[in-house]
Chains A and B, each alone.
Chain A
Amino acid sequence: MELKKENLEKALTALTRLGKVLVPGVVDGVKKFVPYAAGADIDLDMVNTTLPPKDVLFPQTQKMYRFTTGPDAAFEEISDAEEQILFGARPCDAQSIDCLDKVFLSGEYTDAYYADKRGKLTIVAAACAKAAPTCFCRSMGVDPGGAPNADLLLAPTAGGWNLHCQSDKGKAVLEALSGLLEDADGQALPPAQPELVVDMAPVAEKISTMFEHPIWDELHRPCIGCGTCTFVCPTCYCFEMGPEMHGAEGTEMRYWDSCMFSEYTRMAGGHNPRPSAKERLRNRYLHKLSYFVERYGQTLCVGCGRCVEKCPANLDISRAIEMIGEAKTE
């Protein structure tokens, strides 16, 4: 089945009957997933949004519950989950949601806020026909031509996309689009071949022994200690919680935090076990390339290249992967 480009707006409009449709667009100069509205500035051809789709499931600022203190103390839970369709997410974006699922849904504790939003999310992924110079998804085990955890996959053709249904939620999308699709498949375009290729094999072999390696003494030096890499990263999931108070009434919130911030690991009394950019950068890279792999069997980097693109100092995790691979260990 093929969705022709000229039917895209009609298709998105049809999908709004299923829920809020989020599409790659540009708002005030920022590329991100935006709620679809007729005539909106959408762009399904952009290689990558600047802001990842993690906000859809794990908002930068999430209101958790309202409360009143004092003799009439009370709590009121806040649930703002709604049916959402993430339309045009890239294979790396879909893989990043798989990483977030591992963190928030697997194991002993399930995160209720994430679970609520995740249950109501339909992923319509769009395979990539072109790659940015900063894309290195293949090196991180992501296929730019597929997205196994998407509910529906759009595979680009010369005039639109072939649709591949991958779940029951995907079927619901197909039903909503009935009448707007061609029965036959179009001529599929070959998937993108990112030119940036790095070898993870030697990293996997030795990174767990490299905590004290001298490589970290130099690697961090350009880092200015901002949170750009972590905030544009589709898989960075650290958060902090705290209340916003107005007299006796408050709202408990959780908001993205960044392991690159100096106060992230500051403890009571002022001790900081990660006192400089060296320890912070090492932690970020080891978390992505080692700790997460040990715990969940996959890297916490999907090779989207957003941090490479936006780092103020042009630090490059793909280069770090090469340097770790080349480093001499005993």
Chain B
Amino acid sequence: MSEYLPLVVLFILSTLVAAIAVALGHLFGPRRPTERKLQPYESGMTPFGPGTRRMPVRFYLVAVLFILFDIEVVFFIPWAVVYRKLGLFGFVEMLLFAGILEIAFVYAWKKGALEWE
């Protein structure tokens, strides 16, 4: 369990640094609000339209593709740490696994799902 100690320290330190940064700004920053300053920030322009706009469905597709390749990578990790021990058999197994997913990749590519206009 002790090998997780650096992670815990990192987690606490990063939380502290973020909290201190926000707290100091909150404590010492001058606050003179005007109506303009209280507007939602929109890259420096005057905001227009509703704040919650519908996103294009394209983002959803990209997120789904990301999940699937993410899961593929997670399957790769335990295989990769014992790759040398597994020999040719393990290599062929992973080739089969990756090959099946490659069909999906080619399909997505040919459909143009990986392109952004």
Q: Do A and B come from one complex?
A: no
Chain B interfacial positions (CB closer than 8 Å to A): none
Q: Which residues does A use to contact B, with CB under 8 Å? A: none
